[in-house]
Structure 1
Amino acid sequence: MGRKLENREFTSADFEAFNQRIHQQADRLKSAITQPNFGQQPPSLGAEIEIYLLDSHGEVNPVNQQLIDLLGDNQFQTELNQYNLELNLSPVPAQGTPFSAMVLEMLDKYQKLLGAARQLDVKPLAIGTLPTMREEKLTGEYMTREGRYRALSRELLRRRGQQFEIRINGDESLNFTTPEIVVEGANTSMQVHLTAKPEEFADVFNASQLTLAMSVAMGANSGVFMHKCLWDETRVALFKQSIDSRIHKDGSWRPPSRVTFGKGWVRKSAWEVFAETVNLYDPILPQLFDEDPAVDPPVLAELNLHMGTTWPWNRAIYDHHGNGHLRVEQRALPAGPSAIDMAANAAFAVGMISGLKENVDEYLARLPFDYAEYNFYRAAKQSLNASILWPQKYQNKPVEVAITSAVDEMLRIANDGLSQLGVELSERDKFLNIIHRRLVTGVNGAIWTKKTYQHYKKSYSDEKACQLMLERYYEHQYAGEPVAHWEQLWR
């Protein structure tokens, strides 16, 4: 959804023309990805990091456009809310030391961001959900003044016809209603991209789906929101409810959610994912673009726009540049806690995918898709304390295991997978040891924030305790140590 979109009322003719165009483009994609040279380049990685902008009291500061103007760097982009922005990291080859390269670029960009932020008295912070968020900051006045956001909000609200309901039951409960989609912007993530050859895409995508629970359990960093301890990865529940335009009617079937884990394992081709999205989700932003039919591979701008109006936790991406390529975008990881933590999350996720793709069918035969979805939501709610259903040798029924046991197994597979990608031994050891340290200490970002908050609550009000916890988090984030090494005041 990076293109400039008009903020206007769309007509029925617009929707009809757009719908016809995306069906045609899904057919063109099916042909394009089978061409001999398409997507055959060596594997590469990329990432997008969403960041909160805060004032000196830890409250949101709606100055993203002013900050971007000061930065003058097109790797920083606006987000839905005026108190968020996005950093797009440069793609890097998977071979060698890709995660160290990510860390170096993050730190370089953070220094530039901090320099500009000081001029506006802004504190940039990478965290999945903001502990100090207030309901009055989740209103339309905080939406970024761009046509695509206004149009998206209008169309989702038109479909729903009533307020969005937020109901999250975790350690504590959160309940409120809102007429705005701004709540969606209260979720900040690190989106990890991995290229996949067309002939390997199904295995790569399925491996990403299969292992997503482990990625989320180890990387969870969204434990506190609006002064309440909720899910360890509250983003998963919050995001789904914040833009759910469906209305349930008794006695009728219900359309699929636009925020979804998926509908099933991919059988043969990436085309299935695109075709499913075209056929199951009505267009929201039916803007047509001029496209040169001579461009090869084709641009497929409308199809990509439509894919950007659904929010699966693993998204298929088509890119026409060069000889074209396909990517899997893993969207469930949160922003933070530190730059090296985020790179370690990416290393673990990519390693598991690469390590499993060759024999992923053996896992799929023993783990139905709905069990993988079950695992994902258990991991999002309880992270390191979750139990999941995981394939076992000689099983004759589903077997529930502690997710930490499955992660211990997957660390070895992730190491093998990174080795297959050509990642250097020292690089593998450095970043996977960060994940292993979380396993040993029982601390990830969510657990650290919850326990530190609870420690301060013994002496202070909820509001003051949350502010103090966030100050400590901010200090640790920019000190740069992995979260499992942060001071543990509750011990």
Structure 2
Amino acid sequence: MGTEISARSFTGADRRAFRRKVRDCIGALERMLRDDIFVDVHSSPEPQLGMEIEFNLVQDDMAPAMSNIEVLQAIDDHAVFQTELGQFNVEMNVEPGPLNGDATLELEESLRSSLRRAADRMHRHNAQLVMIGMLPTLELDHLGRDRITANPRYEALNEQIFAARGEDLELDLDGVPLPGTDEVESLREDMNSVVPEAACTSLQLHLRVAPEDFAPHWNAAQCLAGVQVALGANSPFFAGKSLWHESRIPLFAQATDTRPFELKNQGVRPRVWFGERWIESPLDLFEENSRYFTALLPEVSDSDPMTELDAGLIPELRELQMHNGTIYRWNRPVYDISDGQAHLRIENRVLPAGPTVLDTMANAAFYYGALRALVDADEPLWREMSFDAAEKNLVLGAKFGLDARLYWPKIGWVGSDELVLRCLLPLADKGLETFGLSSKARDRYLGIIEGRCINRRTGAAWQREQVAGREAAGEDRRTALRGMMSDYLANMLQGNPVHQWD
């Protein structure tokens, strides 16, 4: 959900003071990196896998349920379930756990238990949790300012984005034709709120890393982003339109864009950002954030990070964390404190939620395994791949899913499914084995990735096939989307991975 704030309006003096404090925080972080004031992840038994899952809420008729506050009160588990920006969203924070032995199998069952318990408690509210990248039954009328969750952070964020932009948001997307058609659908709309951002529900994967290992892990995660999206695409419909296989990627970028047309033409960087170069240190990313992006929520604390370091304390670096939380890198650097010790982690944000718990676990296992193998490789992949190629892969993977052709060093342009089957699945298995994950768990999750590639069926592909078939049988788009969502929810609850759905 992000760091809470108490103010909703800010002055120029607030912004100048906040800018100075962010620079102070970066100076303190640089000193901490130099003096090695971080938890030793190599010798610590601390867990390594963490995730957040965002959900949509739907009514029995598959329309969005604008009732997240009531639902959360009914679930009554604030340590696990929290609000998100839209009234039709909630977020689930999964307790971190180890990435070895059969731990992921235990985590999978824990996820199922938490969701069953939540479903039992919320059934009286005509609302159900849905794991999906974008809710196909969301319409533009559902995305006004009155649909923002009542929370000072969300309200201030909305106001500050529009104050920085000075005009309405522009949504401008062209789609990919549905199976059996040649029609390219498009969406052109002006919006007066950031609620379209809430339509983009994601799976966020966290990995704690030592400072000296941060750069290779981040670089490797950037290399994998396009493949992850192609494999996990689950967001093909928005506002009644058939768009990209993973429409979250362009929609999220546009829904939080503080740049009017003229600033885009000047090359001002967007707040949803892939980046522009490989890095050598985590400090590179935090310094870029400070250098390129104005503050959206410039609330200043009384703490002095250097004074705290001099006193032998671990500084919170609150301003740095607040600023970082309003810059939406697809692989975000995170500074945090746990059990009184500072640590760094990478928050991987490219994946959509769903379609099932099992698919979610498979997506996570593939990412962690492939990431570890790329970091451990004798020749770093990012030294053979341009940064622009990695960014282009993300766009192609998001637009075309498993139909995308991606660039990969020593292979060239190759189908995303073939790339995974020939190259990345063996690497992911090796990486998970290095972590210590059992062969039973590796086979279970990577077997799902293999089946997805062989059947060429992601969540997005299934949704597109279903809607195309329903429309060919005579249904209009709205009826087809609601019928498809009803079948989607039934399949999700049954729990079989999406490549096995009828």
Name the TM-score, length of structure 2 as normaliser: 0.93
Residue pair 2:85, 2:198 contacting (<8 A) in 1 also: yes
Q: Post-superposition shift, 1:97?
A: 2.7
Corresponding residue to 1:101 among 82, 99, 106? 106
In structure 2, how many angstroms separate the alpha carbons of the residues matched to 1:433 and 1:37?
Answer: 40
Q: What's 2:477 paired with?
A: 462
In structure 2, how many angstroms separate the alpha carbons of the residues matched to 1:330 and 1:296?
Answer: 29
Structure 2: gaps spanning 5 or more residues: 177-184
Q: What's 1:56 paired with?
A: 60
Corresponding residue to 1:130 among 129, 132, 135? 135
Alignment partner of 1:389: what SS?
strand
Q: Given the superposition, is the C-alpha separation of residues 472 and 325 from structure 1 closer, same or farther in structure 2, using an over 3 Å criterion?
A: same
Q: What's 1:484 paired with?
A: 499
- The reply on whether 1:179 has 2:179 as its aligned counterpart is no
In structure 2, how many angstroms separate the alpha carbons of the residues matched to 1:235 and 1:295?
Answer: 43
Q: Given the superposition, is the C-alpha separation of residues 9 and 330 from structure 1 closer, same or farther in structure 2, using an over 3 Å criterion?
A: same
Deviations 1:198-254 (A, max 9, x none): 111111111100011111111111012222221010000100011111023289623
Residue pair 2:272, 2:327 contacting (<8 A) in 1 also: yes
Letter in 2 for 1:421: F
- The reply on whether 1:143 has 2:152 as its aligned counterpart is no
Q: What's 2:276 paired with?
A: 263
- The reply on whether 1:280 has 2:292 as its aligned counterpart is yes
Q: What's 2:172 paired with?
A: 167
Structure 1: gaps spanning 5 or more residues: 394-398
Residue pair 2:336, 2:343 contacting (<8 A) in 1 also: yes
Residue pair 1:32, 1:298 contacting (<8 A) in 2 also: no
Q: What's 1:3 paired with?
A: 3
Q: Post-superposition shift, 1:296?
A: 3.0
Residue pair 2:158, 2:193 contacting (<8 A) in 1 also: yes
In structure 1, how many angstroms separate the alpha carbons of the residues matched to 2:282 and 2:215?
Answer: 6
Q: What's 1:302 paired with?
A: 319
Deviations 1:161-213 (A, max 9, x none): 11111111112212211111011001100101111111111111111000111
State how 1:212-361 maps to structure 2 within 5 Å: 212-249=225-262, 253-267=266-280, 269-291=281-303, 293=308, 294=311, 296-322=313-339, 323-359=341-377, 361=379
Residue pair 2:353, 2:360 contacting (<8 A) in 1 also: yes
Letter in 2 for 1:53: L
Q: What's 1:67 paired with?
A: 71
* Matched length: 481
Deviations 1:51-92 (A, max 9, x none): 111111111111111111122212111000111000000001
Alignment partner of 2:49: what SS?
strand
Residue pair 1:388, 1:400 contacting (<8 A) in 2 also: yes
In structure 2, how many angstroms separate the alpha carbons of the residues matched to 1:47 and 1:83?
Answer: 20
Give the percent of matched residue pairs that are identical in Structure 1 and Structure 2.
33
Deviations 1:126-159 (A, max 9, x none): 1001111111001011100100011001010011
- The reply on whether 1:439 has 2:456 as its aligned counterpart is no
Residue pair 2:333, 2:347 contacting (<8 A) in 1 also: yes
Residue pair 2:452, 2:458 contacting (<8 A) in 1 also: yes
Q: Given the superposition, is the C-alpha separation of residues 456 and 422 from structure 1 closer, same or farther in structure 2, using an over 3 Å criterion?
A: same
Letter in 2 for 1:403: S
Letter in 2 for 1:173: S
Deviations 1:314-347 (A, max 9, x none): 0011112232211111101001100010010000
Q: Which moved more, 1:38-47 or 1:335-344?
A: 38-47
Q: Post-superposition shift, 1:357?
A: 0.4
Alignment partner of 1:249: what SS?
helix
Q: Which moved more, 1:167-176 or 1:206-215?
A: 167-176
Deviations 1:239-276 (A, max 9, x none): 00111110232896231000011121112x11111111
State how 1:348-427 maps to structure 2 within 5 Å: 348-359=366-377, 361-392=379-410, 399-408=412-421, 409-427=423-441
In structure 2, how many angstroms separate the alpha carbons of the residues matched to 1:441 and 1:182?
Answer: 35
Q: Given the superposition, is the C-alpha separation of residues 174 and 28 from structure 1 closer, same or farther in structure 2, using an over 3 Å criterion?
A: same
Deviations 1:365-394 (A, max 9, x none): 22110110001100000010001111017x
In structure 1, how many angstroms separate the alpha carbons of the residues matched to 2:106 and 2:372?
Answer: 19
In structure 2, how many angstroms separate the alpha carbons of the residues matched to 1:420 and 1:139?
Answer: 48
Flag as ranges the 4+ runs of structure 1 deviating above 4 A: none
Residue pair 1:52, 1:84 contacting (<8 A) in 2 also: yes
Q: Post-superposition shift, 1:295?
A: 6.3
Q: Post-superposition shift, 1:289?
A: 2.3
Letter in 1 for 2:92: L
Alignment partner of 1:419: what SS?
helix
Q: Given the superposition, is the C-alpha separation of residues 61 and 312 from structure 1 closer, same or farther in structure 2, using an over 3 Å criterion?
A: same
In structure 1, how many angstroms separate the alpha carbons of the residues matched to 2:103 and 2:23?
Answer: 37
Residue pair 1:39, 1:198 contacting (<8 A) in 2 also: no
Q: Which moved more, 1:193-202 or 1:316-325?
A: 316-325
Q: What's 1:396 paired with?
A: none
Residue pair 1:207, 1:360 contacting (<8 A) in 2 also: no
Q: Which moved more, 1:116-125 or 1:337-346?
A: 116-125
Residue pair 2:402, 2:417 contacting (<8 A) in 1 also: yes
